[in-house]
């Protein structure tokens, strides 16, 4: 079929004034995260993506909720919205609908997303609006100085669970993969920057909601939490497939455990997602054909200027005095 969507001539002419930014151009202020925090790695990966994709600051927005991770927009020299607790996704969805020309990114944490914001999380997956959702999962509430979060492993001692938490932590990947209309699910770890970047890039190019769980170290409140993965590379399993990511040879030699996984296979994705040791890293599920709610509601039938005018006219007509007249 004909492809009528590209706009080559305009693009070529615009290149004449290509104001490409380097990483520093996307940096704003000095991050207040603790030294050694995994959030820094996510910040760098996002800035690299913006630079490499040539995204313009005024066409990009980072939305967040509350938590350490949610300080993210403060450090990005783009539009940003530091929202309220658990509500990053509804804000982002509003932006997506009102400003379809913006590139929308969401940064949220395990507490923000899976506890107070759990309802929004589930429905955002189902609505599948185009955006990249990065969940910085450090398995603890860090900003408020150590309370157990929904993903804290059983036995985590914290201010709210001084005898160790009683419940098994939530697996956000299997839950997400269980929601209708899910279209992109990946898992990254902050300490493999190459994979983190590759996954983020694939997520950015996905035409729908991309959900990335980023396993993130918190050296301050959970210093040993991920040591077993950090110190034993064989417990990190890299996912690869011709239709998804490939692994560079240097990475392959560092992390010996690999698994070929076709991301279109949701059953296998659920199986792999349920593994916590080894921890899978890569794209678990990808289906580009899932319909997007932001596209559905912006369809021509209801939202063209002509149709809006027609609707308004028909409303106004109810108040108009028509026909008849005294003369008849």
Partner 1 sequence: MTDTAQGTAVATDGRRRNDQQDRASFYLTGHRMDTHLGNVEGLGLRSAHFAPYRRLTELRYDYPLVLADGPDVHATMWSLSGLVDDLLAKVATGEDAGRVRHHAIELEREIRVRADAGPTRLSAAWEDAARALLDASIGGPDGEPDPELADSLARLTAARTVDGELVTCSHDTPREVVGHLWGLVQRERERHLTARVAHLRDDLQDILDAEQASSPAGLAGERLAASLGPVVGDELDTDALSRMLTDKRPRFTLSDSRRARVRRLLDVLTTQRFVPSGEEGTDTAPELYDFVYTDVQAALAAHRERFAATTELAKALVMAEMEADGRYREETHDALFDKWSVADLDTDTLELFPEYLVRVDAEAMTSEDSVALLEALSAGLPIKALVQVNDLLRGATQQARPAEAGLSARTLASAALASGESFVMQCASSALYHARERIVAGSSAPGAALFVVYSGEGEWLDDLPHYLAAAAAIESRVFPSYAYDPAAGDTLAERFTLGCNPQPELDWPVRRLTYQDDSVQRVALDVPFTAADFWACDARLAPHLALAADDGSDGKVVPFAEHVASNPGAWTGELPYVLMISRDERLHRVLVDRPLIHLTQRSVEQWHRLQELGGIHNSHVALELARMRAQLVAELAAGAAASTAAPAPAGAAGEGAPEVVDNAEDHVDEPQAHDPYLPWIETARCATCNECTAINDRMFKYNDDRQAYIADPDAGTYAELVLAAESCQVAIIHPGQPRNPDEPGLDELTKRAEAFA
**Which residues of the shown chain bind partner 1 in the complex (CB under 8 A)?**
1-2, 4-10, 13-14, 16-17, 22-23, 31, 33, 35-38, 40-41, 43-44, 47-48, 190-194, 217, 219, 230, 248-250, 252-254, 300, 304-306, 310
What minimum distance in Å lies between the beta carbon of 11 and partner 1? Answer: 9
Sign of torsion over alpha carbons 183, 187, 190, 192: negative
The nearer residue to partner 1, 9 or 320, going by C-beta atoms, is 9
> Of 87 and 217, which CB lies nearer to partner 1 in the complex structure?
217
Rounded least distance, CB 151 to partner 1, Å: 20
Q: How far is the CB of 71 from partner 1 (least distance, A)?
A: 14
User: In the complex, what is the shortest distance from the CB of residue 252 to partner 1, in angstroms, rounded to a whole number?
Assistant: 7
Find the shortest distance in angstroms from Cβ 327 to partner 1. Answer: 27
d(CA 110, CA 166): 18
* Closest distance of CB 246 from partner 1, Å: 13
Based on CB atoms, which residue is closest to partner 1, 159 or 302? 302
CB of 1 to partner 1, least distance (A): 6
User: Would you say 86 and 63 are in contact if contact means Cβ atoms under 8 Å apart?
Assistant: no
Minimum CB distance to partner 1 smaller for 9 or for 98: 9
Cβ nearer to partner 1, comparing 211 with 229: 229
DSSP per-residue codes, 24-91: HHHB-S---SPTT-THHHHHHHHHHHHHHHT--GGGEEEEE-SSSGGGGGGGBSSEEEE--TT-HHHH
CA distance linking residue 255 with residue 232, whole number of Å: 9
Distance of CA 64 to the CA centre of its chain: 10
In the complex, minimum distance from the CB of residue 296 to partner 1, in angstroms, rounded to a whole number: 16
Instruction: Confirm if 75 and 39 have CB atoms less than 8 A apart.
Output: no
DSSP one-letter code for 7: -
Q: For partner 1, which is the closer residue by CB, 126 or 258? A: 258
Q: How far apart are the first and last CA of the chain?
A: 59
For residue 319, list its beta bridge partners: none
Task: Tell me how far, at minimum, the Cβ of 23 lies from partner 1, in Å.
Answer: 6
Nearer to partner 1, 243 or 253 (CB): 253
Closest to 239 measured CA to CA, from 191, 276, 277, 195: 195
How far from chain centre, in Å, is Cα 98? 19
Annotate 180-236 with DSSP letters as a single string.
Answer: TT--EEEEEETT-HHHHHHHHHHHHHSSSEEEEEEE--BTTTBTTTTHHHHH-GGGE
Between 248 and 302, name the residue whose CB sits nearer to partner 1.
248
Inter-residue contact 66 to 143 (CB < 8 Å)? yes
Q: Say how far apart CA 117 and CA 227 lie, in whole Å.
A: 29
Complex with partner 1: residue 168 or 313, whichever CB lies closer:
313
């Amino acid at each position: 079929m004909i492809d009528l969507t590209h706009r080559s001539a305009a693009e070529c002419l615009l290149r004449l004034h290509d104001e490409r930014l380097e990483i520093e151009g996307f940096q704003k202020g000095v991050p207040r995260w603790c030294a050694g925090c995994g959030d820094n790695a996510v910040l760098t990966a996002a800035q690299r993506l913006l630079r490499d994709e040539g995204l313009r600051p005024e066409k990009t927005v980072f939305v967040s909720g509350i938590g350490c991770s949610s300080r993210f927009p403060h450090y990005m020299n783009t539009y940003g919205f530091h929202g309220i607790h658990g509500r990053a996704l509804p804000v982002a969805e509003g932006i997506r609908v009102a400003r379809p020309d913006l590139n929308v990114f969401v940064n949220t944490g395990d507490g923000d997303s899976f506890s107070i914001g759990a309802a929004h999380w589930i429905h955002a997956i189902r609505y599948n609006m185009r955006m990249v959702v990065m969940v910085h999962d450090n398995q603890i509430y860090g900003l408020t100085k150590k309370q157990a979060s929904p993903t804290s492993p059983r036995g985590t001692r914290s201010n709210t669970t001084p005898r160790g938490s009683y419940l098994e932590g939530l697996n956000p990947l299997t839950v997400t993969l269980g929601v209708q209309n899910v279209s992109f699910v990946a898992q990254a770890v902050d300490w493999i920057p190459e994979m983190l970047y590759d996954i983020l890039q694939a997520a950015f190019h996905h035409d729908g909601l991309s959900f990335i769980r980023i396993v993130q170290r918190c050296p301050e409140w959970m210093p040993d939490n991920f040591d077993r993965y950090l110190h034993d590379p064989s417990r990190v399993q890299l996912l690869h497939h011709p239709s998804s990511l490939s692994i560079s040879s240097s990475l392959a030699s560092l992390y010996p455990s690999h698994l070929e996984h076709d991301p279109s296979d949701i059953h296998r994705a659920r199986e792999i997602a349920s593994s916590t040791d080894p921890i899978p890293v890569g794209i678990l599920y990808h289906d580009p054909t899932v319909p997007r709610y932001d596209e559905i509601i912006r369809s021509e039938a209801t939202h063209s200027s002509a149709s809006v005018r027609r609707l308004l006219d028909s409303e106004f007509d109810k108040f108009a005095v028509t026909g008849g007249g005294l003369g008849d």
